[in-house]
Amino acid sequence: MIEFHDVHKAYAVNGQSIVALQPSTLQVQPGEIFGLIGHSGAGKSTLLRLINRLEEPSGGRIVVDGVDVTALDAQGLRRFRQRVGMIFQHFNLLASKTVADNVAMPLKLAGELTKAQIKQRVIELLARVGLSAHATKYPAQLSGGQKQRVGIARALATDPKILLCDEATSALDPQTTAQVLQLLAEINRELGLTIVLITHEMDVIRRVCDRVGVMDAGVIVEQGLVSEVFLHPQHPTTQSFVQESEGEHDLELGELYQQVAGRIVRLTFLGETTYAPLLGQVARDTGVDYSILAGRIGRIKDQACGQLTVALTGGKELLAEQQLRAAGVHVEVLRP
Ligand SMILES: Nc1ncnc2c1ncn2[C@@H]1O[C@H](COP(=O)(O)OP(=O)(O)OP(=O)(O)O)[C@@H](O)[C@H]1O
């Protein structure tokens, strides 16, 4: 488990102090994928780099699996970092080394394996990321997605328990992003690795993360299960990320509401209720009519979810809402 206890960070710039992280408390559970989302300058990289002490905290305690990372000496820190892999937006590969040599680098630095053992381990790692055929190539001969796979293989070399991903897909096109995210999810599942990733795209969070923290100006303004935060965003920053990712605009919806009669509610379906024929049933049972104003259906990680904004008319709207709630649907009244 990764724990932040009142951790804060300020940078000194020209005699001035720039606060990048306000005192923050955070827990990342073992084996989960935790995403941090925020706009540029929100403090995401700072928080991520504090975990393996690439940045030194200005105060507070960082505890990983019971070990106070903030108190480690140089040797302890070196050993700890072997248990924390990291991948980067621009891959950070050595251009003059082959793919195999890039992946072997952390193993050579650790100095714990023989040459033959390193060779064998590199073969395994390249197979895991689907790059067995590219071992002798140089980074310049690879696509962005392949380069990031090399980065992932290198990060996994010392068998870490934690993987930190610093905007790992920001330089990739959508299709390659999806493939790299799928690989990260696979690694998380199969190796039980805890992953902390930072991104400015809600879609990345929605696809792979279990929980999310939303950052704004050095503060974690909201955190929780992705399904909860994504479907019921509380903080304005979270709301704007969700709206951006959905292409949904309050203004347009507001105009639409004026044109329809009835009680306007937003229904959120999660898991099995998503595909159940509930709405028709409830309409028949209660005699309400409904018109659909907006809707979407999709997935949050492995879970189906849907959201429908409907106008209810006909007299028994409250009863209809009651029945929907009883069936496990979250009902939010947008206009009584
Ligand atoms: N090494 C540094 N020296 C001085 N100020 C820094 C340093 N690193 C970050 N900052 C400042 O700290 C704040 C948070 O930066 P940080 O890079 O953590 O944010 P971020 O959310 O990761 O942004 P981005 O998405 O653009 O990478 C910003 O105001 C930034 O200018």
Cα-based angle 259, 264, 269 (whole degrees, multiple of 5): 130
Sign of CA dihedral 33, 38, 40, 46: negative
318 Cβ contact list (under 8 Å, min separation 6): none
Task: Measure 37 CA to ligand 1 centroid, in angstroms.
Answer: 14
| Rounded Cα–Cα distance for residues 104 and 124 (Å) | 11
Q: Which residue has its alpha carbon closest to ligand 1 atom 12?
A: 20
- Burial pattern 191-211, b for ≥16 Cβ within 10 A else e, equals bebbbbbbbbbbbbbbbbbbb
Q: Where are the alpha helices (DSSP H) in the chain?
A: 44-51, 74-81, 99-110, 115-128, 144-156, 174-191, 202-208, 226-231, 236-246, 250-259, 278-286, 317-326
Whose structure tokens read 């706009």? 39
Across the range 287-315, mean pLDDT stands at: 87
| pLDDT tens digits, one per residue of 246-292 | 766 565 667 777 788 999 999 999 888 888 888 888 999 999 999 88
Query: Rounded to the nearest 5 degrees, what angle is found at the Cα of 155, between the Cα atoms of 179 and 67?
Result: 125
Determine the atom of ligand 1 nearest the C-alpha atom of 42: 21
Closest CA to 268 of 236, 227, 305, 226: 305
For residue 257, the model assigns a pLDDT of 78
Number of alpha carbons in the 13 Å side-chain half-sphere of residue 159: 6
Nearest atom of ligand 1 to the alpha carbon of 38:
21
Which pLDDT band, with edges at 50, 70 and 90, does 229 fall under? very high
Ligand 1 lined by 41 (C-beta under 6 Å): yes
Q: Quickly tell me which residue has 């990031």 as its tokens.
A: 148
CA atoms of 227 and 331, how far apart (whole Å)? 15
Taking the C-alpha atoms of residue 17 and residue 285, their distance in angstroms, rounded to an integer, is 63
Q: What's the CA gap between 21 and 10, in Å, rounded?
A: 7
Q: Distance from the CA of 22 to the center of ligand 1, in angstroms?
A: 13
Residue with tokens 């937006």: 89
In ligand 1, which atom is closest to the CA atom of 9? 12
Q: Report yes or no on whether pTM surpasses 0.90.
A: no
Q: Which residue has the CA at smallest separation from atom 25 of ligand 1?
A: 40
The answer to ipTM > 0.90 is yes
| Residue 218 CA to ligand 1 centre (angstroms) | 9
Assess whether pLDDT exceeds 80 at residue 68.
Answer: yes
For 144-195, write each residue's pLDDT tens digit.
Answer: 999 999 999 999 999 999 999 999 999 899 999 999 999 999 999 999 999 9
- Residue 90 in contact with ligand 1 by CB distance below 6 A: no
